[in-house]
């Protein structure tokens, strides 16, 4: 395989894992539920073109894969220079395996992550009006850029990842930038997982030292970076179960008591508008972090049996995710008001009016979340860095033996632990992840690639829209990133 190819696509492992859940719900139930949720967002067909938003139902004849779909005009012209280097003649692509419900499930699983724990705190910063507005805007922005990503992928069937799109648009420079950004995002996500592991255990056992729990946690999690990715893929279901269980328990606890704070029946005082204006830039990343998934959405698209239905996958998955986010953010903010912590699980555990068995059970599922995802999250970063250090002038030849790979991955885990100890709080990590990585990978790069690849075909209105979104996203990303490093005393004054 050509050296430019992405080594971190998880398309195959996700598709294998998705088969486990194929029969979890009846087809009729899934279809009716998704159809009900699908009407939440309109189709922006006047923005990117109807052909990208109103696909065929893929019901006639055998499933059409993206590699069998009609090629754009540039692919039909034999004199047109290919967007990517030509693959070896013997190279074979995996056959797409994901059905429509599986693709929706995988997309929801990608979008719903640890960021949900800090959403109530994000609403505490912004108030109701600005919080709901930002959450919906970020949802629509990332859904729009996901459609643009699909449009770029359709230019060349050999493009299977976001890094391939970057290469097609900006050459080797685009591929390098994409790799750096992806490694940064994955390392930050790994730090967040380790912090959730330690914070959750300390919420259950307050007498334990937080930094010691982080050290114990990384020792416990290091072996998960050594095992094959295929084994870890089957544990990804724990993440979505943990998220859904957390939302359900928050609602149950809120309805089980009338004592405030902590009750939905007797809500705590809240605010329509921000009461801490200096903290607003922190909320940019907290609310954006829940919509980061474009690096994996490309793999989900390429693994669909009916890729023509990808816009519907986006509509359903973003609708489901946004509804859950609003319930979690709004419910948590209503229950605890200005007393809500950076992670809502701290409020749940410390409230004596709740069913402690149920609350502790769901906190333990949150503890299991990092155990199931830590190895999966770090694996792409490990592969990229191993290839880099093996090809660098100071060749370490990491991939020459299994022992060297284990030592390298262990050292990377220890680095993650060090960062987790040095950074003061989980909400800072999520704010940094959302402001820097999510705005860049899920907004700026798809917009920039779209402008570059279609610069001769786009009208003035389309270019104006894309450039406007790039400018706004850049401002939010820069300001939000800078604010994550400012002293707490200053931004919360």
Over its C-alpha atoms, the chain yields an Rg (Å, rounded) of: 22
DSSP 82: P
The separation between the first and the last C-alpha atoms of the chain, rounded to the nearest angstrom, is 55
Q: Which helix (H) or strand (E) holds 102?
A: helix 100-111
* 3-state class percentages of the chain: helix first, strand second, coil last, to nearest 5: 70, 0, 30
State the pLDDT at residue 396. 55
> What is the structure's pLDDT at 303?
84
Instruction: Supply the pLDDT for residue 406.
Output: 86
pLDDT at 84: 58
**What's the confidence (pLDDT) of residue 398?**
59
State the Cα–Cα distance between residues 112 and 99, nearest whole angstrom. 20
Q: Residue 12 has what pLDDT?
A: 37
Considering only CA atoms, which of 427, 443, 429 is closest in space to residue 476?
443
d(CA 265, CA 256): 8
What pLDDT does residue 282 have? 93
CB 216 within 8 A of CB 336: no
Least confident of 229-243, 293-307, 333-347: 229-243
Reported as a single tens digit per residue, the pLDDT across 80-134 is 455 655 544 444 455 777 788 888 888 888 888 788 989 999 999 999 999 999 9
Q: What's residue 233's pLDDT? A: 59
How much is the mean pLDDT over the chain?
79
pLDDT classification of 493: cutoffs 50, 70, 90: low
* Choice between 161 and 392, residue whose per-residue pLDDT is larger: 161
Give residue-wise pLDDT tens across range 52-84: 444 444 543 344 443 444 444 343 343 445 565
Q: Which domains does the chain have, with CATH numbers?
A: 114-490 (1.20.1740.10)
- Assign 98 to helix, strand or coil: strand
Identify the H or E element spanning 296: helix 294-302
**Which tens digit of pLDDT belongs to each residue from 12-36?**
333 333 333 333 333 333 333 334 3
Whole-number pLDDT of residue 365? 86
Residue 128 CA, distance from chain mean position: 24
* Cα 400 to Cα 229: distance, rounded to the nearest angstrom: 19
pLDDT of the residue at 178 = 84
Residue 162 banded pLDDT, cuts 50, 70, 90: confident
Phi, psi (5° rounding) for residue 395? -45, 115
Lookup: tokens for 104: 């929706």
pTM: predicted TM-score of the whole model, two decimal places: 0.77
User: What are the two backbone dihedrals, phi and then psi, of residue 381, each rounded to the nearest 5 degrees?
Assistant: -65, -40
Per cent of the chain over pLDDT 90 is 39
């Amino acid at each position: 395989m050509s050296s430019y190819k992405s080594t971190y696509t998880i398309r195959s492992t996700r598709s294998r894992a998705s088969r486990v859940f194929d029969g979890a719900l009846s087809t009729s139930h899934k279809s009716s539920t998704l159809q009900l949720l699908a009407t939440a967002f309109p189709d922006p067909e006047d923005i990117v073109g109807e052909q990208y938003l109103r696909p065929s139902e893929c019901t006639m004849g055998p499933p059409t894969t993206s590699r069998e779909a009609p090629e754009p005009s540039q692919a039909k012209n034999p004199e047109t220079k290919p967007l990517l280097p030509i693959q070896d003649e013997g190279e074979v692509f995996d056959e797409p395996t994901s059905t429509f419900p599986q693709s929706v499930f995988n997309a929801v699983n990608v979008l719903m992550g640890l960021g949900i724990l800090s959403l109530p705190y994000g609403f505490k910063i912004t108030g109701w009006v600005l919080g709901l507005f930002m959450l919906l805007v970020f949802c629509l922005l990332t859904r729009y850029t996901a459609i643009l990503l699909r449009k770029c992928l359709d230019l060349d069937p050999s493009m299977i990842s976001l890094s391939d799109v970057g290469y097609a648009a900006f050459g080797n420079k685009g591929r390098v930038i994409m790799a750096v950004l992806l490694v940064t995002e994955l390392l930050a996500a790994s730090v967040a997982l380790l912090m959730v592991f330690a914070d959750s255990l300390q919420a259950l056992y307050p007498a334990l030292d937080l930094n010691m729990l982080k050290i114990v946690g990384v020792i416990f999690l290091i072996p998960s970076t050594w095992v094959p990715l295929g084994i870890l893929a089957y544990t990804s279901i724990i993440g979505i179960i943990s998220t859904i269980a957390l939302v359900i328990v928050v609602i149950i606890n809120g309805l089980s008591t009338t004592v405030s704070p902590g009750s939905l029946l007797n809500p705590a005082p809240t605010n329509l508008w921000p009461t801490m204006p200096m903290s607003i830039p922190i909320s940019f990343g907290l609310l954006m972090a829940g919509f980061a998934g474009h690096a994996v959405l490309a793999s989900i698209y390429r693994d669909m049996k009916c890729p023509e239905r990808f816009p519907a996958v986006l509509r359903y998955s973003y609708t489901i995710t946004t509804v859950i986010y609003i319930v979690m953010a709004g419910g948590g903010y209503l229950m605890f008001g200005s007393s809500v912590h950076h992670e809502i699980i701290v409020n749940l555990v410390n409230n004596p009016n709740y069913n402690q068995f149920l609350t502790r059970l769901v906190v333990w599922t949150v503890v299991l979340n990092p155990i199931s995802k830590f190895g999966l999250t770090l694996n792409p970063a490990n592969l990229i860095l191993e290839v880099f250090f093996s090809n660098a002038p100071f060749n370490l030849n990491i991939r020459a033996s299994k022992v060297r790979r284990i030592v390298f991955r262990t050292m990377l885990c220890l680095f993650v632990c060090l960062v987790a100890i040095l950074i003061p709080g989980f909400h800072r990590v999520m704010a940094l992840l959302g402001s820097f990585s999510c705005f860049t990978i899920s907004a700026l790069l798809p917009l920039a690639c779209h402008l570059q690849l279609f610069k001769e075909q786009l009208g003035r209105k389309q270019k104006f829209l894309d450039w406007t979104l790039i400018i706004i996203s850049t401002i939010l990303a820069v300001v939000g990133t800078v604010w994550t490093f400012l002293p707490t005393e200053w931004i919360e004054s």
